[in-house]
Structure 1
Amino acid sequence: MKTIAAVMAASAFLAACGSDEADDETTTPDATDETSEETSDDSTDESTGDTIDYPDLSGETIDVASDWSGAEQANFEAVLDYFEEQTGASVTYQSLGNNVATALGTQIEGGGAPDIALVPQPGLVDQLVDSGDIVPVTENVVAQVDANYAETWRDLSTYDGELYGVWFKAANKSTMWYNVGVYDDAGAEIPETWDDFMSTLQLVSDSGVPGLVVGADVGWPLTDWFENVYLRTAGADMYDQLAAHEIPWTDESVVEALEILGDLWGDETLVLPGGAQRSFPDSVTAAFTDPPEAGTVFEGDFVAGNIADQTDAVVGEDANFYPFPSINGSEPAVMGAGNVAIAFNDDEATMALMEYLASPDAANIWIELGGFTSPNQNADTSLYPDEVSLAIAEQLTSAETFRFDMSDLTPSAFGGTEGAGMWSILIDFYQNTDDVEGTAQALEDAAVAAYGE
């Protein structure tokens, strides 16, 4: 079983997750007509020399589930389409929605678990290993992971010495997205510090467009806000301690982060009303619709995919990002996350798909489609569709400090359940930012219950 400390130790080295060799001649299957013609059933990635031997799986059906929907689901289904073409298998995808732990738990309890799930919570994987619901991957999958991933990613999915998962998708969740036209019209410059950020939002608001839009109806974007602020105000060591519940949520460091967020979220002159009822996708639309309803929206690199899917804005022209601002002189830091593929059986078809997900073939398809950062070292970074996507990946790999999404490291009942724990409590705080002490106490009470203390 993996401890939180082990996960933290591994995540400290995530700067090794990307490849800086953008000139590699790795091709993307199905990316263009030319590359499709060059790809055979026995696909070799030139950067590794490692061959994927796609088996004939005609007649086999593989069920896959994850939390992706909308643009992310469509892009992942394109990845699955290529596997189907190469093997003859039929792969069905189901979105588990925001409440992955509960949805997956219900399926397991009813005997209907998928063959593969790609989950965003290492804490949940830990629980599934402990309960015996998932299986270690086979030697072929291990070989792909060894060939294509930095040791840190193997460590993040290794339990009791056995590899259980493939980290397919990484996320840089320290990106602030802005409407270029709105900022230009307001005469706003890119802020580097939190004070400058607040001034920029005020300048944009004074121009006639609310400075910020927040989508908070299910709560997870608010946990990302908190984690970014806390990482910058309390530092990486305290972040690790809070994630492991070695310090209480009533600690002064938590109170300080909540006060900073309260000053922002509670300022009606800066924030577009309705955040507690607005979904995250709707917040992206609000910032990049025509005419725009707000100038800025915070969330991870996947915002690029939402912009492309939901609006007519062009990433890199109408939409761009800047790093989450420094607070109190904090050094550059990234809070990130990802989805790890885990298997509920070791059937040939299931393990063939796991092997594929660990290969550059799979990563390259989604890289080119956008809204995706791959932890696969041998993925072709030249395929990132624009300079913005590449800059996001480089920010992730060059950050002086990286920490994994705290809510994903905690027990699911506290950090990953809709209507409960951090999600619910931070929604309440968003609606009543005056109650900082009460919010800290509510978080501590929920953490004690979830950690079984």
Structure 2
Amino acid sequence: MGRTNGRTPTRPAMVAAASGLALLASGCGYLSGEGGSSGGGTDAADVDCSPYEQWEDIGGTVDIYSSIRDEEAERMDRSWADFAACTGITIEHEGSGEFEAQLPIRLDGGNAPDLALIPQPGLLQRVVEDGHALPVSDGVRENVEAGWGEDWQGYASVDGELYGSPYGANMKSMVWYSPTYFSDNGYEVPTTWDEMVELSDTIAADGTKPWCVGFESGDATGWPGTDWIENALLRTSGTDVYHDWISHDVAFDSPEVEEAFDLVDGIVRNEDYVNGTFGGTDSIAVTSFQEAGLPLLDGGCAMYLMGSFYGAQFEEDVEIAEDGDVYGFVLPPLEEGGEVPVMGGGEFAVPFADRPEVVAVHEYLSTAMYADSRASEGAWVSAHQDLDPANLADPTDQFAAEVLNNPDTVFHFDGSDAMPSSIGTDVFWGGMVDWVTGSSTGEVLEGIESAW
């Protein structure tokens, strides 16, 4: 995850599940443009420093590198300002639109940040195997083991050793739509995949392209297509095959993966269904994911598959609500009453230095205290089990945290992000561009498989 591009004012994003419940996750967005910030601007005399006594008078400077920029970076900067003031630690944050490509270059060149917020377990594994990342401190390990479930701990571990602490979280199994448009035209939210296809046929017959799709994202172009495939594979083959596919125990050109591509093909490469106001299927590769969903507001298309963070792309006067301008439903299962998989992502704070001030900042970022502070700034959710819902800025954010922390929720990490980065965020992203611009499914699958 972590492909971020210039964002408009942030708004919480809400998802309505097929059961009628709402699912929301806000957090990491995929935005572009560079950005930097520094903590420490708050005067300690104006802050209650008692919560930070264990780190008092440490001082020093800690630089953090991430893909987070603009409004989201400003919120993050405010979230650690009191900590910085009370500890005397200056936190310098740099956000980059080329984070995934630049982090390995910086590491290989001896220009490592103190901490990086890495949105892909596959990239995390790479920087560990290349000998750059350090295991977390004992304090961070204790915080992670107490605050997150085994699934989240596993995403930040390599060969049983913990190398990072979970940061934000988001959900990517949602379809954005306009409740007003649906109501005006007598459309209902589908509860199965077949109902969604039938609805698409109806909307197309009524003269509107039912889907908007955009794969363009700068150096990360193609990643929105991987979300389609990952969600489809979870629905056609289930959890075990999904995880075996990520670990390459199921080949990329297996019948199971081909079935998922075929399911998506019926929507994404269907000229009757796409691509909103942007053109036909040939427009998908050059339509930015940020712009792709905006025609929902004026009836230019009816549905858009995109993560919960997409709420940030709408202007402040756009109402995100069940009866508002835009809303969302969870991408439905194949069968009525079937399990509705939840797929998403998040970032992990990974250390590359072990100076006292770096350890202190990392320890703080791994606490429920920090999660509460960041959540209070809005448009962000953590899977931390002790996150206080009262600190979330919006009731829908509160529900998202409840879902993420529900022990019955099986959270599936974004497959392309969990794979080795040379596959998941390289040839898989590129393969989706080839596929949507005309290459056959077989050619694309064989090409990705050969890269393993």
Query: Who is 1:451 aligned against?
Result: none
Query: Who is 2:39 aligned against?
Result: none
Query: Who is 2:437 aligned against?
Result: 431
Which piece of structure 1 moves more, 73-82 or 400-409?
73-82
- Report deviation, 1:379: 0.9
Which piece of structure 1 moves more, 349-358 or 266-275?
266-275
1:110–1:204 Cα change, 3 Å: same
1:275 aligns with 2:284: yes
Give the distance between the partners of 2:443 and 2:270, measured in 1 at CA: 19
- Report deviation, 1:214: 1.5
Within-5 A mapping of 1:373-384: 373-384=381-392
Query: Who is 1:48 aligned against?
Result: none
Determine what percentage of the aligned residue pairs are the same residue: 29
Query: Who is 1:219 aligned against?
Result: 222
Partner residue of 2:349 out of 329, 341, 347: 341
Query: Who is 2:72 aligned against?
Result: 72
Partner residue of 1:239 out of 228, 238, 242: 242
Give the distance between the partners of 1:370 and 1:303, measured in 2 at CA: 14
Within-5 A mapping of 1:6-45: 40-43=48-51
Partner residue of 1:361 out of 352, 369, 385: 369
Partner residue of 1:409 out of 415, 418, 424: 418
Show CA shifts across 1:414-446 (max 9, x none).
1113xxx0111111212227x222222222223
Show CA shifts across 1:71-122 (max 9, x none).
433332332434333333332222232x544210111122211111011111
Give the distance between the partners of 2:73 and 2:293, measured in 1 at CA: 17
Show CA shifts across 1:28-64 (max 9, x none).
xxxxxxxx99962121xxxxxxx76342354x32211
Show CA shifts across 1:160-206 (max 9, x none).
55432110112222122212222222221111111111233344445
RMSD: 2.6
1:213 is paired with a residue whose SS is coil
Aligned letter for 1:423?
Answer: W
Asked if 1 retains the 8 angstrom alpha-carbon contact of 2:80 and 2:373, the reply is no
Give the distance between the partners of 1:161 and 1:413, measured in 2 at CA: 22
2:265 is paired with a residue whose SS is helix
- Report deviation, 1:138: 2.0
Unaligned runs of 5+ in 2: 1-43
Query: Who is 1:266 aligned against?
Result: 269
1:299–1:142 Cα change, 3 Å: same
Query: Who is 1:92 aligned against?
Result: 92
Asked if 2 retains the 8 angstrom alpha-carbon contact of 1:172 and 1:396, the reply is no
2:209 is paired with a residue whose SS is coil
Query: Who is 2:446 aligned against?
Result: 441
1:293–1:63 Cα change, 3 Å: farther
Could you tell me the TM-score, scaled by structure 2's length?
A: 0.80
1:297 aligns with 2:300: no
Within-5 A mapping of 1:310-349: 310=315, 312-316=317-321, 317-328=324-335, 330-349=338-357
Give the distance between the partners of 1:338 and 1:162, measured in 2 at CA: 19
Asked if 1 retains the 8 angstrom alpha-carbon contact of 2:403 and 2:409, the reply is no
Asked if 1 retains the 8 angstrom alpha-carbon contact of 2:173 and 2:344, the reply is yes
1:38–1:88 Cα change, 3 Å: closer
Give the distance between the partners of 1:193 and 1:311, measured in 2 at CA: 32
- Report deviation, 1:345: 0.3
Give the distance between the partners of 2:91 and 2:238, measured in 1 at CA: 43
Aligned letter for 1:325?
Answer: P
Give the distance between the partners of 2:145 and 2:269, measured in 1 at CA: 48
Unaligned runs of 5+ in 1: 1-35, 44-50, 449-453
